[in-house]
Each structure stands twice: as C-alpha cells, then as structure tokens.
C-alpha cells in the first residue's frame, strides 16, 4: 500500500492551507520521500522495464505550495537537462502522476516537457500526438481505462499546461482506488511508453510540426552517447518484434495452406530470414494454386492507421523484379493478444499503394 487514503487527504489539505512548503510537515515527507520509495520498491518487485534508468521524483512546489502536485518517472536518457545534468519534467517525455488541486482526484499520464512553449503551442503539438495514439486505446487491452483528452487539475497556468501536454491518461480518486491496480497500471503504461518512444517519438520524420509556425518543429535534442544507447535498444527491440511477427506470419501461411488441402505446399513454406539475410524477403510461401509468394514482413508493437515502415534498397529491388509474387505483410500489436495481420500488399510497387520517401543518400566526391 502506497499510503493511507484518509490520512493522505487530510494531511494534503492541511499542507495546502499552510501556503508555503515545509519539509518538516508530515505530508511533505510522505509525498516527496515515502511514496516514491514505496513506488520504487513495488515496481522493482515487478521488474519493470528500464527501471534502472528511471529517477522517481515528486514535487509539492518550491517555496510556495503548488496548485498541482506530481510524482514523475523520468528516464535519464530522455529528460536530463543539459545544463544541470539532472532529470526534469520540463523536457523530453515521461510518465507522471498528477494530483488535482482538490486533493481528491489524480491522474496517471504520459506527458511531454513544456519548457519555453506557450499553452497554445503545447495544445497543438499534443493534438498531433493524441491523434497518433487514438488507435492504441481502441485495440490495446494494456491501455484499458485510459483516455485521450482534457481534464481538470487547477485554474492557474502550470496545471493547464500539464493537462494540455497529456497524451493519454487514467483518472483515480483518493477515496476509493486499488493501490495494487495503480502499480499494475504504471507497469503496463511503462511497457507501452517505451514501445511508443522507440517506434514513434525517436523517429525524426514523425516529430509534430505546427502548420502555421514553420519554426515549430521541435527536434529531439539528446546527448550523442545517450542517443546511441537509445538507438541500440530500439534496434534490439525492432529485431525481436520482427522475429515474432515473421513467426506469426510463417505459422499462418502453413495453416492456411493446410486448410485448403495443400499439405505438400505447406511443408515447403520456408522462413528464410530465420537463418539467412539479404534475400529481400523473409518467407517463401505459396498460393493455393502453387504460385510462389515471397513475403516481406513488417511488424509493429503498436496499432496504426497508416502503418509507417522502412523498405531497404534490396527489398525495393526484389519487389520490382518479382511483381505479383512479392507481398508485404503488415502485422500490428506484435507480442500481444491482439496481434494480427492488418494488410497484405501484393506487388506493392506496381500499384499506387505506398508513399515512398528517401531517408538518406549515397554520396561520392565528384571527379571531373
């Protein structure tokens, strides 16, 4: 149990009535020290992902008691201030528990830093992220009970900024909530958080851009060594996601051929990417009529509307050569109970199915 509900509420109101922060007040000790320590302990028991990289910090204000209190889970790679070298809620992206001014309601949410941004800019950027996240609420049970939208924390500007920068949230009440469920919700949200960070947030092509402000395209300013760590971790996750998605499609191809009486073809399905690389496709399968079906699998742990993915030069070349035999199979929600094939694109480059955008160029010095 993180805290006694009744004691929390009573001490919170007393602390707020003081007007000034007091490190000796029982609530200050409870909120800033005891609860974060208990939270750390509970999440360690669940072996929460990347917990060794996370600072759990709490704040009730600095000098003057804040209208909105918070407890944040700050990944040092994503939220460290370059000047102070300390984690901060003013930059990056993080999970945070926000407590409303009434001392009764609180919210578990994913937030983005609001440093140097106006309220209107925060709202416009958050609207783009929220639109991207909407499919997750519809299809992922790990976000059951979470919503996208606004809620009330307080009437001053800072609480309004917190609300505006919230991407997804779940509401709780001090009067009646399950402490165990809150811990489980944090752990579950953390799993989704890193999937979102690696697949969406770190992708420079997906950084929100406000239409009427050309300068407002915030780059992910991350220390070089830290960004290298994040890229390596992302690459490791992408490799595991791809392997699970390929196995899923391989098994599906085998079962589909067996279902139509093509046992011999089912036995010939070959998951080539399991042992070799460079073919330009992952699975060699067959249509029921015996024609070859060369499948390139693209997997994501998230749900999608437009399903962005990368196509290598080798994959592009093979797709152009093989035409109708080449199929890109898109698998979403990889590793969850909702994992499914969302689309099979046959002859993807022969029809107007894909929007291709060059992401890098091969260069040499011009010799006259």
The Cα–Cα gap between 3 and 10 comes to: 12
pLDDT of residue 361 exceeding 50, the answer is yes
Topology of domain 241-346 in CATH is: Trna Endonuclease; Chain: A, domain 1 (3.40.1350)
Phi, psi of 127 (to 5 degrees): -60, -35
Query: Quick one: CATH architecture of 5-222?
Result: 2-Layer Sandwich (3.30)
**Ramachandran assignment for 37, one of left (phi > 0), alpha (psi -120 to 50 degrees), beta (any other):** alpha
What's residue 350's pLDDT? Answer: 85
The Cα–Cα gap between 343 and 35 comes to: 46
The Cα–Cα gap between 311 and 240 comes to: 18
pLDDT of residue 215 exceeding 50, the answer is no
What's residue 205's pLDDT? Answer: 58
Phi, psi of 322 (to 5 degrees): -85, -20
Structure tokens at 307: 């399903």
In this prediction the pTM is: 0.85
Question: One fold for both 5-222 and 241-346?
Answer: no
Domain boundaries, the chain: 5-222, 241-346
What's residue 137's pLDDT? Answer: 83
pLDDT of residue 39 exceeding 90, the answer is yes
What's residue 242's pLDDT? Answer: 94
């Amino acid at each position: 149990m993180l805290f006694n509900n009744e004691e929390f509420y009573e001490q919170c109101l007393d602390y707020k009535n003081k007007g000034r922060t007091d490190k000796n007040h029982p609530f200050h000790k409870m909120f800033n020290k005891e609860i974060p320590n208990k939270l750390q302990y509970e999440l360690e028991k669940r072996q929460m992902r990347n917990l060794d990289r996370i600072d759990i910090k709490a704040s009730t204000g600095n000098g003057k008691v804040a209208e909105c209190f918070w407890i944040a889970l700050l990944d040092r790679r994503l939220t460290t201030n370059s000047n102070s070298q300390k984690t901060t809620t003013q930059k990056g992206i993080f999970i945070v528990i926000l407590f409303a001014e009434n001392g009764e309601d609180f919210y578990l949410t994913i937030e983005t830093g609001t440093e140097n941004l106006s309220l209107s800019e925060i709202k416009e950027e958050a609207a783009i992220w929220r639109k991207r996240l909407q499919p997750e609420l519809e299809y992922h049970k790990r976000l059951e009970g979470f919503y996208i939208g606004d809620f009330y924390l307080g009437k001053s500007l800072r609480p309004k900024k917190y609300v505006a920068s919230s991407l997804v949230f779940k509401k709780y009440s001090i009067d009646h909530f399950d402490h165990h469920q809150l811990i489980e919700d944090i752990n579950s949200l953390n799993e989704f958080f890193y999937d979102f960070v690696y697949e969406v947030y770190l992708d420079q092509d997906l950084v929100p851009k406000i239409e009427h402000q050309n300068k407002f395209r915030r780059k992910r300013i991350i220390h070089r060594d830290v960004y290298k760590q994040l890229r390596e971790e992302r690459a490791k996750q992408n490799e595991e996601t791809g392997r699970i998605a390929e196995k899923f499609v391989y098994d599906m191809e085998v079962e589909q051929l067996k279902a139509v009486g093509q046992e011999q073809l089912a036995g010939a399905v070959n998951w080539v990417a399991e042992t070799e690389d460079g073919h330009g496709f992952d699975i060699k399968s067959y249509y029921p009529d015996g024609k070859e079906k060369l499948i390139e699998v693209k997997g994501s742990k998230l749900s999608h509307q437009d399903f962005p993915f990368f196509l290598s030069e080798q994959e592009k070349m093979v797709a152009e050569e093989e035409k109708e035999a080449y199929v890109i199979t898109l698998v979403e929600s990889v590793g969850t109970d909702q994992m499914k094939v969302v689309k099979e694109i046959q002859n993807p480059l022969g029809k107007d199915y894909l929007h291709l955008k060059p992401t890098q160029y091969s260069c040499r010095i011009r010799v006259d």
